[in-house]
């Protein structure tokens, strides 16, 4: 049979316990792409090692011995998967012996996946005894366990390339150096892809983690610093029909709302802030990790000054009498009541009252109301 009549590029001989290795070698060889320059020089296809015969996928039931002999005749090369399993296999021995009888001894190649060549120990010997009985000279084989490199996977790749070079009859280094460069590029691509994927997964994981929202308060109405500081503030956040509240004691503190689902980030939410001496703030905010809400003083608390003037000598209220509070002049009405509105920037916690007559106590403390009375001194 001449070169043009071979149906298979190679026949893989193996023991059933090494089936996985046989399939792996078949896949590696059939998909191995040769350098374009070598293909151009020798007239090869880019994947010249096709097809490879592997019994479980190619053989048909019935007439097994005859079928295998026909497949062996139709194969240019014989690849023996060597291990202690195949070393004790009569079937592997018969396939080697038959291929040798065809006069193609030089085309028998050994791929060592386990065991030790020529160990003499049946537990570790990887060569079938037929090899030595027939005097087959090439018994070194491509060994995946040869420690040419530090990394086992690279030693396996080297063994595959050794087998390829023997099957094609080319210098090992002529394709091994290129193969290493391809492996390096492939490894770099895998690493970059893995890093990109891990980065993306990390970003997605981080982005979907619950977040904490901190709400800071800011004075929205200026005052002169003479009023009591902010205290005992209740901040209520409404989320998905659920209200969460936090209490802060000073302006320097922030209200903290923990473990808000990330899906709510950027959505609108309702905030209600209640604090003594301040107007209730009821507003809508956009959810974020840091939020600032403005609050305003209730100008009426320290700004509405109301009291009555009383004359204990006559036991009557003093009407139509001028007084001055915080630089503002007002006159008591027909019932003796004084009503003054003090602007926020001039408000105090207490005020001194000036009148045209002496007072027993000239200080009015805020907040005050209609029940507050200042008496004329007699």
State mean pLDDT over 95-119: 93
Distance separating alpha carbons of residues 197 and 210, to the nearest angstrom: 22
In a domain, 349, yes or no: yes
Same domain, 273 and 364: no
Burial string for 250-289 (b: 16+ CB within 10 Å, else e) reads: ebeebbebeebeeeebeeebebbbbbebbbebeeebebee
Q: What is the pLDDT of residues 218-250, one digit of tens each?
A: 988 877 788 998 899 999 999 888 899 999 999
CATH number for the domain harbouring residue 342: 2.60.40.1120
Same domain, 20 and 160: yes
Does residue 1 register a pLDDT over 80?
A: no
Same domain, 269 and 334: no
Distance separating alpha carbons of residues 335 and 311, to the nearest angstrom: 12
pLDDT at 176: 87
In a domain, 260, yes or no: yes
Same domain, 10 and 150: yes
pLDDT at 138: 59
Query: For the chain, where are the alpha helices, taking DSSP H only?
Result: 19-30, 36-42, 55-58, 64-73, 84-87, 90-101, 130-134, 152-168, 172-207, 299-303
CATH number for the domain harbouring residue 149: 3.40.50.10140
Q: What are phi and psi of 288, to 5 degrees?
A: -155, 180
In a domain, 180, yes or no: no
Same domain, 127 and 59: yes
Does residue 61 register a pLDDT over 60?
A: no
Residue 297's DSSP bridge partners are 278
Q: Is the dihedral of CA 30, 31, 35, 40 positive or negative?
A: positive
Q: Is the dihedral of CA 235, 238, 239, 243 positive or negative?
A: positive
Listed residues 262, 297, 332: the one ending a domain? 297
Same domain, 16 and 87: yes
Please tell me the chain's helix, strand, coil percentages from 3-state DSSP, rounded to the nearest 5.
35, 30, 35
In a domain, 331, yes or no: yes
Same domain, 11 and 145: yes
3 state SS for 157-221: HHHHHHHHHHHHCCCHHHHHHHHHHHHHHHHHHHHHHHHHHHHHHHHHHHHCCCEEEEEEEEECC
Q: What is the pLDDT of residues 199-215, one digit of tens each?
A: 999 888 887 889 999 99
Same domain, 23 and 142: yes
In a domain, 54, yes or no: yes
Q: What is the DSSP letter of 344?
A: G
- Stated as kind and residue range, the H or E segment containing 290 is strand 290-295
Query: What is the SS3 assignment for 49?
Result: coil
Same domain, 115 and 130: yes
Residue 216's DSSP bridge partners are 292
pLDDT band at residue 255 using 50, 70 and 90 as cut-offs: very high
In a domain, 84, yes or no: yes
Q: What is the pLDDT of residues 262-310, one digit of tens each?
A: 888 899 999 999 999 999 999 999 999 999 999 999 999 999 999 999 9
Same domain, 314 and 285: no
- Bridge-based pairing of strands 211-219 and 304-311 is unpaired
Listed residues 170, 185, 202: the one ending a domain? 170
pLDDT at 139: 66
Provide the residue range defining the domain that includes 234: 212-297
- Range from 43-47, 92-96, 255-259, 341-345 carrying the lowest mean pLDDT: 43-47
pLDDT at 63: 42
| Mean pLDDT taken over the chain | 89
Q: What is the pLDDT of residues 155-207, one digit of tens each?
A: 999 999 999 999 988 888 888 888 888 888 888 888 999 999 999 998 888 87
Same domain, 287 and 325: no
Distance separating alpha carbons of residues 341 and 319, to the nearest angstrom: 19
In a domain, 143, yes or no: yes
Q: Of residues 38 and 320, which shows the higher confidence score?
A: 320
Number of domains in the chain: 3
Q: How far is CA 111 from the centre of its chain?
A: 43
CATH number for the domain harbouring residue 261: 2.60.40.10
Residue % of the chain over a pLDDT of 70: 96
Same domain, 221 and 370: no
pLDDT at 330: 96
Listed residues 105, 139, 170: the one ending a domain? 170
pLDDT band at residue 103 using 50, 70 and 90 as cut-offs: very high
Length of the chain: 378
pLDDT at 45: 83
In a domain, 221, yes or no: yes
Q: How many CB atoms lie within 10 A of CB 376?
A: 17
């Amino acid at each position: 049979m001449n070169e043009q009549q071979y149906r298979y590029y190679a026949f893989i001989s193996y023991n059933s316990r090494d089936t996985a290795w046989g399939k792996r070698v078949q896949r590696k060889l059939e998909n191995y792409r040769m350098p374009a320059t070598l293909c151009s020089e020798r007239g090869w296809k880019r994947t010249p090692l096709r097809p490879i015969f592997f019994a479980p996928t190619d053989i048909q039931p019935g007439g097994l011995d005859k079928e295998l002999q026909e497949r062996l005749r139709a194969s240019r090369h014989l690849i023996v998967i060597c291990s202690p399993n195949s070393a004790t296999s009569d079937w592997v021995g018969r396939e080697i012996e038959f291929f040798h009888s065809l006069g193609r001894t030089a085309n028998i190649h050994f791929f060592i996946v386990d065991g030790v060549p020529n160990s003499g120990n049946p537990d570790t010997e990887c060569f079938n005894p037929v090899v030595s009985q027939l005097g087959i000279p090439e018994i070194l084989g491509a060994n995946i366990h040869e420690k040419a490199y530090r990394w086992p996977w690279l030693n396996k790749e080297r063994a595959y390339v050794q087998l390829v070079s023997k099957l094609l009859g080319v210098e090992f280094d002529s394709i091994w150096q290129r193969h290493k460069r391809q492996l390096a590029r492939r490894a770099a691509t895998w690493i970059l892809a893995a890093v990109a994927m891990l980065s993306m997964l990390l970003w997605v994981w981080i982005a979907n983690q619950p977040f904490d929202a901190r709400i800071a308060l800011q004075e929205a109405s200026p005052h002169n610093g003479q009023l009591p500081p902010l205290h005992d503030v209740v901040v209520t956040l409404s989320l998905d029909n659920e209200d969460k509240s936090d209490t802060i004691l000073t302006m320097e503190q922030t209200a903290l709302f923990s473990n808000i689902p990330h899906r709510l980030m950027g959505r609108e939410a309702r905030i209600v802030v209640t604090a003594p001496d301040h107007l209730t703030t009821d507003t809508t905010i956009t959810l974020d990790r840091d939020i600032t809400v403005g609050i305003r003083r209730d100008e009426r608390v320290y700004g509405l000054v109301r009291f009555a003037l009383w004359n204990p000598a006559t036991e009557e209220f003093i009407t139509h009498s001028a007084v001055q509070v915080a630089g503002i002049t007002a006159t008591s009405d027909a019932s003796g009541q004084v009503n003054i509105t003090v602007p926020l920037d001039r408000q105090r916690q207490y005020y001194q009252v000036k009148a045209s007559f002496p007072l027993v106590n000239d200080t009015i403390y805020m907040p005050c109301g209609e029940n507050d009375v200042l008496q004329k001194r007699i």
